[in-house]
Structure 1
Amino acid sequence: MRLQNGESTRFWSANWTPFGDLTTFLSGTNSRMGIPRNAMVSTLYSNGVWCLPPATSEARIQLYTHLTTLHLTANQNYYEWKIEGRVHNTYKTCTVYDYLRESKPDVQWHGAVWFSKAILRHTFHTSLVIQNFLPIRDRLISWDLQVDDRCLLCNAQPESRDQNYFSYAFSNDLWQTVTRRLQLQPSTTWQDTIDRMISLPSPLPHRLLILLAWQATLYWL
């Protein structure tokens, strides 16, 4: 909160000082200093002077010292967001998310998963497949769950990500049908398929069509 006239700013609960919520910051004083719970900052400022009781604690001294640098105006209060020293006048979810999340280097496959015109549910599923996060039988067993390791589709081979995409006969036949229509040489191994998707050449429309078809195949399998 960037303080201006203080008329819409609650003294106790708004984040209008560097100390945050003053209820918490001044909690050690065991007193509201005679200031009502819902008091607005503007009611404690008159003719350029702050109307506050004497400081009787170190926390109050810090607060009052800060208040000597503030002077209310006739302008409306406004919000701003300060992240890593940079001030933003508008709230951007992506900026806040990037600040809060653990920073990691870009992965090689991001361009084959996240791109303009992609179908969100397909891209999210594809990212799970690439990172082997799907609850496939081999992963369930690695979590010490007592399950049969055989594939639900063929009931013969152990089920795994690499088996399902596209070593298994059914998935391979489907992928062959898709790639034939795209005039693309198919691969039966997962790693070769990923490498192919990452290194797809231009023209852009053909590359986009291949990626959309690949992600849709992963999703509907």
Structure 2
Amino acid sequence: MFVQSLLPLGGLKIGNVWTAIRIVNEEVMWHKIVWFSMRVSKHSLLAWMSILNRLPTSDRMQRMGIRIANCCLLCGSDQETRNHLFVECSYSKQV
């Protein structure tokens, strides 16, 4: 029955499937900063992952059970976390 509701007379439409399966949430306040019309997709993805703290930093990978060096690959002094990479890292500050 679900599939039949997605099949209009012209056949299966991807837009209908997407509308049926997606979860609609409230728009977050940073939406237009990341997802705007003239964006570079890889920059938007990086910004989105950073905001959600989903970057594959060493602290997150260790929590997932992946054995990896604990220190920052840029400065070598502290643990590599999102905040360290973008705010605290001495190398990032110089760049």
- Superposed CA offset, 1:147-185 (max 9, x none): 2211011111110001101321222233xxxxxxxxxxx
Tell me the residue number matched to 1:152: 73
The question of 1:133 aligning with 2:72 is answered no
What letter corresponds to residue 65 of structure 2 in structure 1?
Answer: D
- What TM-score does the superposition give when structure 2 sets the normalisation length? 0.75
Give, in whole Å, the separation in 2 of the partners of 1:152 and 1:110. 30
Greater helix share, structure number: 2
List runs of 5+ in structure 2 lacking aligned partners. Answer: none
User: Whole-Å Cα distance in 1 between the matches of residues 33 and 3 of structure 2?
Assistant: 45
Per chain length, whose mean CA-contact separation is higher, i.e. which structure has more relative contact order (CA < 8 Å, sep 6+)? 1
Structure-2 residue corresponding to 1:110 = 31
Residue-by-residue CA offset, 1:41-96 (whole Å, 9 max, x unaligned): xxxxxxxxxxxxxxxxxxxxxxxxxxxxxxxxxxxxx4167xxxxxxxxx463x64
Structure 2 Cα separation of the partners of residues 123 and 19 of structure 1: 34
| Runs of 4+ residues deviating >6 angstroms | none
Q: Which has the higher strand share?
A: 1
2:88, 2:67 → 1: CA distance? 25
Is 2:15 aligned against 1:79? no
**Aligned to 1:154, what secondary structure does the other structure show?**
coil
**Given the two structures, how large is their TM-score scaled by the length of structure 1?**
0.36
Tell me which amino acid in the other structure corresponds to 1:145. Answer: I
Q: Identical aligned pairs, as a percentage?
A: 26
Distance, in Å, in 2 between the alignment partners of 1:138 and 1:126 is 18
Q: Distance in 2 between matches of 1:92 and 1:148?
A: 43
RMSD: 2.7
> For residues 187-202 of structure 1, what are the structure 2 equivalents within 5 Å?
none
* C-alpha distance in structure 2 between counterparts of 1:112 and 1:173, whole Å: 25
Between structure 1 and structure 2, the one with the greater Rg is: 1
> 1:138 is aligned with what amino acid?
D
Match for residue 97 of structure 1?
A: 18
Partner of 1:120: 41
